[in-house]
Amino acid sequence: MVFTHDTTAALLAAVELVNSAGEPDAMTGQAQVDAFFAKHGYTGAPARDDRDLAAVRALRAPLRRMLTSDRDTAARLVNDVLATHRAAPRLVRHDGFDYHLHVVHPDTPLADRIAAETAMAMVDVIRADETSRLSVCADETCDGVVLDLSRNRSRRYCSTACGNRLAVAAYRARRK
């Protein structure tokens, strides 16, 4: 494992949220926020209103900048997020997971929790000098973010669909 469970979980959630902004938009209603919340095991409860949805959607662009910036820029962005959200790391155990860090209170709005937890995950990425594990999809028609947790750092596409689309295109080109 490259990173601890909480770091990996926060990075996977952030990448999914950022990539939800594609065509079609995958975060258009409260049902999608609820599914995202449940899938990624955030503590507390989402507000379940239009402001919550708007705040989560608005977080996609800043998270994209944080995840795809060079190391120095990412460090600055992380520091800004941690200061803005008054991160106060504390060790917690829940849902069968041993001690790990939470940086905001569970009653904090969901978008703020996502931002702060992503920033804490990026602390580990930056400290380990592993920012190369985050990139943009190699499919030129896609701008999805890729989190490469593979041992040999071989992941190039944000999804199987992008990889398959390029493989089929290359196959068809060779067949001509």
Whether the model pTM is above 0.85 = yes
DSSP 45: -
Q: Is 45's pLDDT higher than 80?
A: no
Q: What is the mean pLDDT of the chain?
A: 90
Domains and CATH numbers, the chain: 5-130 (1.10.3300.10)
> Which pair of tokens denotes residue 68?
């795809």
pLDDT (0 to 100) of residue 1: 55
* Sign of the dihedral defined by the CA atoms of residues 32, 111, 12, 158, in that order: positive
Where do runs of H (alpha helix) occur along the chain?
A: 5-19, 30-39, 50-58, 60-68, 71-84, 110-127, 160-175
